[in-house]
Amino acid sequence: MNDKDRFAPSEQILSGETADVYFLHARRILEAEGSDADVTMEVFPARDGILCGMEEVRQLLKKVLSPGGEAWAIPEGKKIEKREVTLRISGSYRKFGIYETAILGILAQESGWASAARSCVEAAGGTPVIHFGARHVHPDIAARLEYAAVVGGCSGCATPAGATLAGIEPSGTIPHALILCIGDTVEAIEAFDRYIDPKVKRIALVDTFKDEAEESLRVARALGDRLWGVRLDTPAERGRVTPELVQEVRARLDQADFKHVRIVVSGGIDPDRIYLFQKQRAPVDAFGVGSAISSAAPIDFTADIKQIEGRPVAKRGRIPGVTPNPRLERII
Amino acid sequence: MNDKDRFAPSEQILSGETADVYFLHARRILEAEGSDADVTMEVFPARDGILCGMEEVRQLLKKVLSPGGEAWAIPEGKKIEKREVTLRISGSYRKFGIYETAILGILAQESGWASAARSCVEAAGGTPVIHFGARHVHPDIAARLEYAAVVGGCSGCATPAGATLAGIEPSGTIPHALILCIGDTVEAIEAFDRYIDPKVKRIALVDTFKDEAEESLRVARALGDRLWGVRLDTPAERGRVTPELVQEVRARLDQADFKHVRIVVSGGIDPDRIYLFQKQRAPVDAFGVGSAISSAAPIDFTADIKQIEGRPVAKRGRIPGVTPNPRLERII
Amino acid sequence: MNDKDRFAPSEQILSGETADVYFLHARRILEAEGSDADVTMEVFPARDGILCGMEEVRQLLKKVLSPGGEAWAIPEGKKIEKREVTLRISGSYRKFGIYETAILGILAQESGWASAARSCVEAAGGTPVIHFGARHVHPDIAARLEYAAVVGGCSGCATPAGATLAGIEPSGTIPHALILCIGDTVEAIEAFDRYIDPKVKRIALVDTFKDEAEESLRVARALGDRLWGVRLDTPAERGRVTPELVQEVRARLDQADFKHVRIVVSGGIDPDRIYLFQKQRAPVDAFGVGSAISSAAPIDFTADIKQIEGRPVAKRGRIPGVTPNPRLERII
Amino acid sequence: MNDKDRFAPSEQILSGETADVYFLHARRILEAEGSDADVTMEVFPARDGILCGMEEVRQLLKKVLSPGGEAWAIPEGKKIEKREVTLRISGSYRKFGIYETAILGILAQESGWASAARSCVEAAGGTPVIHFGARHVHPDIAARLEYAAVVGGCSGCATPAGATLAGIEPSGTIPHALILCIGDTVEAIEAFDRYIDPKVKRIALVDTFKDEAEESLRVARALGDRLWGVRLDTPAERGRVTPELVQEVRARLDQADFKHVRIVVSGGIDPDRIYLFQKQRAPVDAFGVGSAISSAAPIDFTADIKQIEGRPVAKRGRIPGVTPNPRLERII
Amino acid sequence: MNDKDRFAPSEQILSGETADVYFLHARRILEAEGSDADVTMEVFPARDGILCGMEEVRQLLKKVLSPGGEAWAIPEGKKIEKREVTLRISGSYRKFGIYETAILGILAQESGWASAARSCVEAAGGTPVIHFGARHVHPDIAARLEYAAVVGGCSGCATPAGATLAGIEPSGTIPHALILCIGDTVEAIEAFDRYIDPKVKRIALVDTFKDEAEESLRVARALGDRLWGVRLDTPAERGRVTPELVQEVRARLDQADFKHVRIVVSGGIDPDRIYLFQKQRAPVDAFGVGSAISSAAPIDFTADIKQIEGRPVAKRGRIPGVTPNPRLERII
Amino acid sequence: MNDKDRFAPSEQILSGETADVYFLHARRILEAEGSDADVTMEVFPARDGILCGMEEVRQLLKKVLSPGGEAWAIPEGKKIEKREVTLRISGSYRKFGIYETAILGILAQESGWASAARSCVEAAGGTPVIHFGARHVHPDIAARLEYAAVVGGCSGCATPAGATLAGIEPSGTIPHALILCIGDTVEAIEAFDRYIDPKVKRIALVDTFKDEAEESLRVARALGDRLWGVRLDTPAERGRVTPELVQEVRARLDQADFKHVRIVVSGGIDPDRIYLFQKQRAPVDAFGVGSAISSAAPIDFTADIKQIEGRPVAKRGRIPGVTPNPRLERII
C-alpha cells in the first residue's frame, strides 16, 4: 500500500455527506447564482501543537481542487503555534468549499492526538513510548489514532491497522485474558514462546495472579535469555505501578542475574506520571500509554476566507487579507 | 437503510486488524493449545455517563458470537454508573476475545460524546440544543459523533451522514463563507430564500459584517414572515454572544414587530455558558454546540474475565465471579 | 490664576469646621491651661505611593504656622514609601493642631488618586493615558481628582475645572448622548466639526449604533484628514474593547488608507487590562481611564507628635523622637 | 440652615466647569443646530447599595430643569439594586445634559460611602457605630462623607461641618496629641473635664502611655461618675484592640465597681473585625470606624438616554425605551 | 498493682528536677521573704480534646498539697473545651508551685494522644482500633502513650507495659522479621501456632513475600479454623492497603469458604484513611493505628493564678478571679 | 554522672516490657525452633532531620548485642536524609530483635525534637534560642526533650534534669506567678536579686501588670547594671510580642541610657515568627521557644532485615541486601 492509498479520502467524504449541510446549501446557491469567485481561505489552530493529518488533507485537495487551484501548508509532524496559518487554499470556492468540515476535522482530531503523544514522549526523555489506546476510540478511527501517536513521536503502536498506516510493526505483549484462560503466568508465556513467531519479542505481563516481583523472577527463570522483558500493569486497586516497584523488580532481577530482562510500565501513564518515574530515576525501559493520548481533545482549527478575487476580506473579528507565513510550502 | 445496515461492523473490524495485536496472539495460542474454554467477560465504565454504541456492539457480537454465545446489556441511551456492569458476554473466548478492543472503543468514544451532549441538554432545560461539531473530528467518524449527540439528547445535527444515522433531517443555516462571497448578509439570505427548498428553515447568520442587532433588523425586514430566526455567532474577538446581547436583539426585534423571529446562539457554547444564559433569563430559542460535545474525552471501559468454565476468576485487583446487575437485558 | 490661588484653603478649612471636633476641644483646653508648647509632629503614609496634595498643605501651613513655625516635606509628585516621614511640622501646637484632619485628608485622598494614576501610566508604557473619572466623585472634589491624576502621570483630563488646576486644556470627544440626539454617528461628528473650535481634536465615538469597524470607516470617509481619531468604548454587554478589536479596526483603517486616524480605547480600563493590550501589541494610541483612578482608596496618613520642647516623646507603639529623612526639604 | 441651603449646588457646578467637556461641546452643537429635543434619561448603579446624594441631585435638577422638565427618583437612604433605575429625568436635553457628570458623581461617591457605613452598622447589630474618617478625604468633601455615613446608619460623626449637614452634634473624645502635650492621661481627662461644656461626654483615650486596663482604672478613679467611657485605640504595633482586651477591661472595671463606664473601640475597625467582636461577645458599647467607610469605592452610576421625543432609543448594548420601576417617586 | 502504684509520681518529679528552674527560684524567694500566701490557680487547655493524665495529677497533688490544700477537676477521659477550666488548685503556693511544669506536661502530652485516638475511634464507627505506635516514642514514655490511646477509646495496645497501665492484655500478630527469618509466611504462622499460648489470637501478616490475596488463602488453608484473621500492612511502595484490596481479599476468602477469617488493616492509617474505608464499605474487622496517635501534638495547657488570699488577681491579658465551671469535681 | 549513666537503659526497656508484644512472641518461637540466624538489620528515617538518641541506642545495643554482634551508625547530632541508612545492626537476631520498638522510639522522638530545634536555630541566625517546652510533655520524658533541643542547637534549657543531661546549666527568669504573689514587678526582681545566687542572670519578666515599655524602664531603673535583660512574653490577648514592640522597648531603653539591658522574646515563637523578627531587624537578644520544639512530631524510623546468614533478603516493597552508606561509623 503506498502513501496515496493509505490516506485516500473515502467516498462518503468526497460526496459531501459528512459536510455540515450549510456548505452544501452554499454550493447550491452559488451555482444557482452563477457565481464562481476565486477565493483564498486560511486555516489556523486554536492552540499550540503538533500538526497531523496534513498528508491526508493534501490528497483530498489534490482530488477536488485541480486543476487551477493551489494550496500551501506546513508539513506533517511539525510544531504549529496558536493562530498560525497552517494551510492556505486558493481556487474556485465552489470546488473546495464543501470540504471545510472534513479538512478541519482531519487536522483537529489527528493533531490533538499527535500533540498529546508528543507530551508523553518529551516527558520520557529518551525512553521509548508505546501507544496502546485503540480501546478508547471507535475502531473505524483507531488506525488514524495510532498513526497520529507515531507522528507525535511514539515508538510503537498496538493494532495491525494502525501500524500499517504508520509504516511499522505492531507491538504487543500478552493480555490478562490469556493468562486467566491458561491459569498461570509462566505457562502462558511458555505457550506464547512455543507458538508465536520468534521475531516477536517475549514480554511477560506479571501482575495477573501473583506479586509482580515474585512473578518476574518466575518468568525469567522459565524463559531465560529468550525473555525480552516484563510488563508491570498493576491496577489502581493495588496502587498502580510506582517508581519504587520498578526499582525493586529491577534489583531482584539483577540479584538473580537477569540483567537482560527489560521493564515495561503501563496503566494510567501520562506525562505527570512519566515525570515522576524520571525524577525518581526508576529504571523503566519503555512506557505503555493509552488514554493520555487517545483521550486528548481535538485542537480546534478555523477556516477563514481572507481574499475574494484578489480583494482582502474578512468577517467581523478577523483581519482581512492574506497573513504571510514563510513556513508554508506549496503542496498543490 | 435499516438499523442493521446503519450499524453493521466494517470488514476491517471483523478481520481483527483494528484489535490490539496481543489479542490476535492470544487467539493463535489458544487455538494451538486446543483450548476453547467457555468464558464470561464483564464490561464496565470508569465514570458515570450516558451509554452509547451498544446497538453497534450488539450487531458485532451477533455476527461473531452465535451460535452458542449469549450477551446481556444495558440499553442504548441509558444512564450508567461508574464501575457498573454494562455488558456481559458469555461464550467461547476464541470467538469473541479479539473484539475486546473494538467493543470497548465503540462504547468509550460514543458514550463520551453522548454524555457531554446530555450535560448541555440538561443545562438548557427545555431549550433545544443542536450539534455542530463535525468539524472537530475526522470525517470517517463524524456520523458516529452526530449520532451520539442525538442519543445524548440533542435535537438536531448538521451533517447528512450523521442525520441519517440518527434518523432525522440535518439542520443548518448559512455559513459565513457564503455571506462573504455574496458580500452582504441580506442578499445572502435572500439568495438562500430563492434557491433552497422552502421546507428548510430560513435562519440568518447576523454577525458577519455589521452589528448583530442592526443586521437582525435588516434581515427581518427583508424576509418578513419567511424568516424563521437569526443566529448569533459573535466571535471571541468581539466578546462572544452574551446574555445581554440576546436580550437586546430580542427587544429590538420585538419593538420592530418581528416577534416571530427566533434567536439561535452559537460559538463556544458549553454547559457553564448555557447555565449563564438560563440564569440571566436570556430569551434563547436554540443553542448550537460544537466542541463542548465533540471534544469530550472517551469514557474508559474495562473488560474483565470473571468466570471460566463456570468457575469464578479474576485478575489481581478485581473481585472474582459474575457481578449481578438487574438492569442488564438479554441482547443475544 | 497663580499657584497660590489654585490651592488656597477654603474658609471652612481655616475655621476648623472640617476638623475632628476633639482637636477643637484640645485647642480650647491648651488655651485654658495657658500651655503653648513647641511641638514637632511627623506625618507618614500607610503604604507606598505617589505623593499628591503637598502644595496645598504648604499653602495651608504657611497661612497658619507663621511666624515662628517651620515645616519640611517631600516634594509633590514624588514616590513615597510606607511609613516614610513625608512631612515634619515644628511650632506652636496651638497654632497648627486643629489642621491635622485637613492635612491628612488632603494628602490621603489626592495621593491615593495619584498613585492609581501612576499604576495605569506605568502599565501603558509610553502610550498616553487620559483621565475621565469625574463622574465617580462629587463635583466639589472633581477638580482635585483630575489634578491628582495629572500629577500621577496622566496626559489629560476631562473637566475644565480640573484642567485649570492641572494647568492644561481639557480633553474630550463626543458623548453617546449627542449621537443619540442627532441620530447618526457620521452626522454627529460632522456637526462637531462644523461648530467646535478647530483647535479641538476631532475624535469620533464609534460604538453607538453600528459595529465599531464599520463606523470607523464611515467617520473616516466623512471627515478625511480632519479626523484625529476614533474612540472605542464598547460596553460590557458587547464584550468590551478587546485587543483583537483594536487590531482589526487598525487593519481595516489602514487598508482603506486612513493610517492617520488614531485609536483611543476606553471602558473599564485598568492596569491589568492595559497590560493585556500591551502584551498583545494592540495598536492603541491612547487609553481613557475612569474608575481605575477615581475609585482608588485613599492612602492613610498618620501624624505623630515626636518631640515636645526638644524632648523626644511618642505614644505607645511609636518610637520617640524625630526620624531623620534626607529627602525632606524645607517648605516654610 | 435649612435643607435647601445645606445641599444647594455650588456656582462651579452650575457653570458646568466640573462637567466632562464633551457635554459642553454637545450643548453648543445642539444649540447651533437649533435642536431642542425632549429626552428621557435613566440612571442606574453598577452594584447593590444604599442610595445617598439624591436630595442634593433634586436641588440641582430643580434649579436647572424647571419649568417643563420632570424627574422621578428612589428616596435618599433606600437600598438600591444593581442596574435598577434609580433616577429618571425628562425634559429639554439642552437644559440638563451638562449636569450628567455632576449628578452621577454625587450619587456615586455618597452612595459608596453610605453603603460601606451600612455594612458596618449591620455587622454591629444594635451597637452604635461612630464615623471618624474625615482624615482620609479632602476637607472640601469631608462634610459630605460624614453626611453619607449618617445616611448609611452611623449614630455619630466627628466634624462640626459634617454634623451640621447630618443635623446632629459632633462626637469626639481626646486626641493622643493632647495627652502627649499634657504628659499624663489622667491629667488630660481632668483638664477636659474642667474646661469643656458638661454636655459633652467625657470619654478617655486610654492607650497613650500605659497599659489600657491599668489606665482605664486610673481615669475611672479620677473622674468617677462623670466618666462616660473609655476609648481603646491600641495601635497595630501593640496588637490592635482584641475582643479579649475588651473583656478584660470590662471585667477589671466591673470588679472595681465602675460598671457605668462604657467601652468604645477604634483602630482598623471594619465589618469583619466587628463580626469578630460580636462573635466573641466582647462587651463593646460603641465602635469608631474610619477608613472602612471613608475608603469605600464609589458605586458607578450610568446615565442612558432611553427615549427621544417619545420614541424608544438606546445605544448598542442597552435596551431601548423606558424601564418601569414602581419604586420611583416624582421629585420634580 | 493498684491505681495508686500505676500512676505514682517518680522521685525525680517530686524533687523538682524536672520543673522549669524559675519555679525553684520562686519558691526560694518566697521562703526567704517568709511569704506563704493562699493561692488559687486554674488550668485550661488551648484547644478542644479528651482529657487524660488527671488521675496521675491527682496522685501528685495528693502527695504535695495535703494537708490544707484543695483541688477540683474534670474526670479522666471526658471531653474538654478550649479554654475551659479543667483543674483548680487552692492552697499554699509554696507547696504546689514547683509542680506546675509537671502537671501541665502530664495533661498536655497524654490529652494530645487521647484526643488523637478518639478521632480515629470516631472515624471507625464501631470497628475496633488497636494502637501500635510505641515505636515512635521513647520507651520511657511508651506505656503512658498506650494508656492514653486506650483512654481515648482504642480497644487494644501492643506493649505489655502499656497494657498493664491500661488494665488490658497486649495485642499482637507476627512481625515481618519473624517471617523473613523463617523464610515463608505459612511456616511462620504454623510455628506461631505451635509455640504460642492458644489464648493468643492467630493473626497472620500476609504482605511479606507474596501477593496479599494469595497469601491470605495459603495461611487460611494451613491453619483452618484456628486462624483468627489476617493483617494487611502493604507498604507505600506497593500502594498501601486500599479499600478495594480489602474487598477483594474478603471476596476471595469467602469464595474459598474462609468466612471466619477476619481482616485487620494497618500501615499509615489515620482518620481520613479510616473514613475512606468506611465510605467505600470495605469489610475491615479492625484497624491498627500508629503514628496518627503517637505523633499527635500535645494540647498546650496553661496555669493562671486567679486569686491570692481571696482577692481576684490575674496577669495582663487574663480575667482576674475564679471562673466557675460546674463540671469540676472535688478531687482532694 | 558520666555519659554511661546519663543514657543507661532502664530495667523496663531491658526486660522487653515496652516492646511490641509480637517481638516477644517472635523471640519465643525462634528459641523454640532452635533457630539463631545471623541477621543484618538497617534503620532509616521517613524524612530529613537531625539525628538524636543514637548515643542512648549505642548503650542499649552494647549491653544486649555483645559479644559477637556489630553495629554502625551516623553520629549523634548530624543531619540525616529521608530513607538514609542511619544504623546497621548485625548479630544474633534472638539477642537484639525485641529491642526494635525501643531503638526506633528513642530515635524517632528525640530526632523529631532535635530537628524542630534546628529549624528554630537556623531561623534565628546567630541569635541564641533557649528551650522552655518541658511543660508540654510528661515529666518522665522532659529531660530527654531538653537534651534533644540542645543537640538540635539550642543554647539553653529550663529544667535541672534536662540541663544535667545536656551538660549545661539551666536557664530561667521569673515566673508570672512570683510577680503576682509579690504584687509588683520591680519588687519581684529586687527580691530575686536579693536571694538568688549572683551567678544567675537577672532577667525581668515585664508584661505582668503594666505596659512592657513602661515596666522595662522601671526595672532598669531599679536594678541598674545588675539587670542582664528583660523578657517580653506578651500574651495573645494583647497581640503577642511584635517586632515593633521590641524596637520600641529597645529605643526607649537606649534613650534612657540602658543600652546594656538585653531583650529576650517568648510566647508562641516558632521559625516563621523568628523569620519575621529577623526580616524586620528587631533587636532581639534571645528567643525563648516552647511548643515549636516540644510539639514536634516524631520522625518515623523503620527497621528492615536486609540480610540473613549473608544472603540478601527483604520484605515486599524493599530492596534486598545491605545498602552501602559511607557515613556510617562502627559503634560496637
With H, G, I as helix, E, B as strand and everything else as coil, classify residue E322. Answer: coil
CB F207 within 8 A of CB F179: no
For B105, the closest of A16, A137, A196 (CB atoms) is A137
User: Nearest-CA distance from B200 to chain E in Å?
Assistant: 54
Q: Does A38 share its domain with A164?
A: no
All cell numbers assigned to D240: 490592635
- Chain B CB contacts of E244 under 8 Å are 317
Locate cell 534489583: which residue? Answer: A251
Residue segments in chain C with a per-residue pLDDT below the cut of 70: 1-5
Contact C255 A318 (CB under 8 A): no
Helices (H) and strands (E) in chain B, counts: 14, 14
- F313 CA to chain A: closest CA distance, Å? 10
Question: What CATH code is carried by the domain that includes residue C175?
Answer: 3.20.20.70
Cα C123 vs. chain centroid, distance in angstroms? 16
Chains D and C touch (3+ CB pairs under 8 A): yes
Q: Do F248 and C319 touch (CB under 8 A)?
A: yes
Residue D261: CB atoms within 10 A of its CB come to 25
The whole-angstrom separation of Cα E302 and Cα D135 is: 43
Task: Select from F25, F291, F305 the Cβ nearest to the Cβ of E180.
Answer: F305
CB contact under 8 A, A10 and B140: yes
Q: Neighbouring chains of D at 3+ CB pairs within 8 Å?
A: B, C, E, F
Beta bridge partner(s), residue F205: F231
Question: Cell for F136?
Answer: 508540654
Residues of D in contact with C18 (CB under 8 A): 134, 139-140, 142-143, 159-162
- Taking CB atoms and an 8 Å limit, are F252 and C318 in contact across chains? no
Given a contact cutoff of 8 angstroms between Cβ atoms, the answer to whether E218 and E255 are in contact is no
Q: Is there a single domain that holds both residue B59 and residue B168? A: no
Q: CB–CB of D144/C138 below 8 Å?
A: yes
Which residues, listed in sequence order, are joined to residue D311 by a DSSP beta bridge? D308
Q: In this complex, do D255 and E316 lie within 8 Å of one another by their Cβ atoms?
A: no
Please state whether at least 3 CB pairs lie below 8 Å between chains D and F.
yes
Nearest residue on chain E to A213, alpha-carbon basis: E210
Residue in chain E closest to D212 (alpha carbons) equals E316
Give the residue numbers in D contacting B (CB under 8 Å), as ranges.
312, 314, 316-321
Which residue from C minimizes the CA distance to F249?
A: C319
- Residue the block writes with cell 452509547: B52
Structure confidence by residue, pLDDT tens digits, A267-288: 999 999 999 999 999 999 999 9
Nearest to C255 among A316, A317, A321 (CB): A321
Query: Using CA atoms, how far apart are residues F262 and F270, in angstroms rounded to an integer?
Result: 20
Q: Do B245 and C238 touch (CB under 8 A)?
A: yes
Taking an 8 Å cut-off on Cβ atoms, the answer to whether E247 and B316 are in contact is no
Q: Give the number of beta-carbon pairs within 8 Å between B and E.
A: 17
Query: Do F252 and F147 belong together in one domain?
Result: yes
Interface touch F317/A244, C-beta < 8 Å: yes
Please give the residue of chain E at the shortest CA–CA distance from B311: E255
Q: Check pLDDT > 70 for residue B5.
A: no
Contact D251 E320 (CB under 8 A): yes
CA distance to partner chain C, nearest, from residue B215 (Å): 9
Do the beta carbons of residue D266 and residue D241 sit within 8 Å?
A: yes
Residues 6+ apart with CB under 8 A from E310: E38
Q: A7 and A104 share a domain?
A: yes
Task: Say how many CB pairs under 8 Å bridge D and E.
Answer: 17
**Same structural domain, F303 and F251:** no
pLDDT value, residue D4? 53
- By DSSP bridging, strand E286-289 and strand E262-265 are parallel
Q: Across the interface, do C316 and F211 touch by the CB < 8 Å criterion?
A: yes
> Could you tell me the CATH number of the domain that includes residue E34?
3.90.1170.20
Torsion of CA A14, A19, A25, A31, to 10 degrees: -30
| Residue B4: band (very low, low, confident or very high) from pLDDT cuts 50, 70, 90 | low
Put simply, the answer to whether E238 touches A240 (Cβ < 8 Å) is no
Q: Give the closest of A53, A136, A179 to B300, CB-based.
A: A136
Neighbours of chain A (3+ CB pairs under 8 A): B, C, E, F
Chains E and A touching, counted as 3 or more CB pairs less than 8 Å apart: yes
Residues lower than pLDDT 50 in chain D: 1
Q: Please list every residue in chain E whose beta carbon sits closer than 8 Å to the beta carbon of residue F110.
A: 138
* Long-range contacts formed by B166-171: CB under 8 A, 24+ apart: B170/A21, B171/A21, B171/B130, B171/B201
Interface test with A, best of E211, E217, E218, E233 (most A CBs within 10 A): E211
Q: Read off the pLDDT band of F7 (50, 70, 90).
A: confident
Q: Which residues of F touch C (CB under 8 A)?
A: 211, 213, 244-245, 247-248, 251-252, 255
Domain of residue B193: give its range. 112-294
The DSSP call for residue C226 is: G
Residues B164 and B310 both lie in one domain = no
C-alpha closest to that of B138 among A119, A331, A9, A73: A9
pLDDT digits (tens, 9 = 90+) for F91-141: 999 999 999 999 999 999 999 999 999 999 999 999 999 999 999 999 999
| Alpha-carbon gap, residue F100 to F119, rounded angstroms | 28
E67 preceded by a cis bond (ω within 30 of 0): yes
Any chains having at least 3 CB pairs less than 8 A from chain B are A, C, D, E
* Angstrom distance (rounded) from CA E72 to CA E87: 6
- Which residues of chain E have a pLDDT value below 50? 1
Min CA distance, D299 vs chain B (Å)?
21
- C-alpha distances out from residue E169 to B193, E165, E189, E204, Å: 92, 10, 21, 19
Of B172, B113, B290, B139, nearest in space to A100 by CA: B139
Q: Cβ–Cβ of F255/C316 closer than 8 Å?
A: no
Give the best residue of E135, E206, E216, E307 to mutate against chain F (max F CB count within 10 A): E135
- Chain D residues in contact with C33 by the CB 8 A cut-off are 182, 191, 195
Q: F298: which residues sit within 8 A by CB, 6+ positions away?
A: E136, E137, E291, E294, E295, F105, F108, F109, F111, F112
Distance CA D311, CA F262 (A): 82
| Cα B210 from Cα B208, distance rounded (Å) | 6
Compute the distance between CA of residue C316 and CA of residue C313 in angstroms, rounded to an integer. 10
Residue A272 C-alpha cell reads as: 505527570
C225's CB contacts (< 8 A; 6+ apart) are C260
C177 and C43 within one domain:
no
User: Grid coordinates in use for C273?
Assistant: 487590562
Q: Are C242 and B237 within 8 A, CB to CB?
A: yes
Interchain proximity E251–B320, CB inside 8 Å: yes
- Chains B, D in contact, 3 or more Cβ pairs below 8 Å: yes
Angle at A166 between CA A165 and CA A171, to 5 degrees: 105
- Each as own residue / partner, the long-range contacts of residues D69-76 (CB below 8 Å, 24 or more positions apart, any chain) are D69/D95, D69/D96, D69/D332, D70/D330, D70/D332, D71/D330, D71/D331, D71/D332, D72/D328, D72/D329, D72/D330, D72/D331, D73/D328, D73/D329, D73/D331, D74/D325, D74/D327, D74/D328, D74/D329, D75/D51, D75/D329, D76/D51, D76/D52, D76/D151
Facing residue for A320 by CB, picked from C211, C244, C251: C251
User: Which residue has cell 534503620?
Assistant: F43
Together in a domain, F253 and F303: no
Q: Residue C4: what pLDDT? A: 53
Out of F209, F214, F239, closest to residue D242 by CB: F239
| Cβ atoms of F304 and F314 closer than 8 Å | yes
Identify whether the C-beta of residue C141 lies closer than 8 Å to the C-beta of residue C110.
Answer: no
- Note whether B40 and B121 are same-domain residues: no
CA distance B241 to E198: 78
Whether residue A3 is predicted with pLDDT greater than 60 in this model: the reply is no
Q: Which residues of chain F make contact with C316, given a CB cutoff of 8 A?
A: 211, 213, 248
User: Considering its fold, how many domains does chain D have in total?
Assistant: 2
pLDDT at site E180: 96
A98 plus A120 within the same structural domain: no
* Beta carbon pairs, B and D, within 8 Å: 17
Asked if D touches A (at least 3 Cβ pairs < 8 angstroms), the answer reads: no
Residue A318: closest CA among chain C residues belongs to which residue?
Answer: C248
Chain D residues touching F214 at Cβ < 8 A = 209-211
Q: How far apart are CA E169 and CA E162, in angstroms?
A: 9
Do D152 and D245 have their domain in common?
A: yes
- Categorize the per-residue pLDDT at B1 as very low, low, confident or very high, splitting at 50, 70 and 90: very low
F233 in the same domain as F116: yes
Buried b (16+ CB within 10 A) or exposed e, E219-246: bbebbeeebbbbbbbbbebbbbbbbbbb
pLDDT in tens, B238-252: 889 999 999 999 999
Per-residue pLDDT tens digits for A125-168: 999 999 999 999 999 999 999 999 999 999 999 999 999 999 99
Does the predicted interface ipTM exceed a cut of 0.90? yes
How distant is the Cα of D240 from the closest Cα of chain F, in angstroms? 7
